[in-house]
Amino acid sequence: MTTYSSRWLVCDTARPDARIRLVCFPHAGGSAAFYRAWGQSLTEVEVHAVQYPGRADRFDEEPPHDLVRLASDIADALEPLADVPLAFFGHSLGAPIALETARALQSRGIHLAHLFASGSRDAALPDLDGPEEDPDQLLADLVRMGGTDAEMAADPIFQEVVMPYLMADGRMFHSYDMAPEPLLKCPVTTIVGDQDDDADLRPWSALSAMPVREVGVTGNHFYLINDPPYSLLQETLAVPRPE
């Protein structure tokens, strides 16, 4: 198994004997720390979380502005990890980034075992308005969706640190023009909260040549903060051990 480190990827719990690697893509304004506990809980896989530029230990870098270019850069970092099967989990903005990263890897002959699109519903693309540029409204929306609590959102240090890359992520998402092809060559599972009125809408059933299923869970857009879908991931990614 590959021993590997990259500024793009954070692996808090190495599992040298794991037979699959799960790569997790954060939401807008998110960082790799969002998935910090996942590596300890998902004992059958090795979890790697993507660290986008402009936040956490990459705070001194410019936030990304081109989603397809960002995905290509992430694919570069993931190539050395493809000595075992890869699966992707992308939440909200992370779902289209996972899609484009999977496409970039496919063009290099690397195919995923599975793609999980969380906070994303299988539906026609909506007509998007421009990105929200009012910091107060962005923070209010983040609190309403469950992405942070009101006390933290009101913290001036939080606002100073997080708002620039949260707004940059929003601009990147709204400038993203998704091509209908190439089709994914892996199964897709979408995961949507039953109270999620803010889900990303994307025609997943038309984006993959493999089966697509939608799983409903209890909660809002950030259902996974209180109830991560560990059981679903473990069941879907179960890899038979050789006898």
Catalytic residue among 92, 118, 120, 208: 92
Catalytic residue status for 5: no
Non-local (6+) Cβ contacts of 127 within 8 A are: none
Contact in structure between 78 and 11 (CB atoms under 8 Å): no
Catalytic residue status for 31: no
In DSSP notation, the chain reads -----BTTEE-SS--TT-S-EEEEE--TT--GGGGTTHHHH-TTSEEEEE--TTSGGGTTSPPP--HHHHHHHHHHHHGGGTTS-EEEEEETTHHHHHHHHHHHHHTTT---SEEEEETEEESPPP---PPP--HHHHHHHHHHHTSS-HHHHT-HHHHHHHHHHHHHHHHHHHH----S-SPBSS-EEEEEETT-SS-EEE-HHHHBSS-EEEEEESSSTTHHHHS--HHHHHHHT--PPP-
Report the catalytic residues. Answer: 92, 221
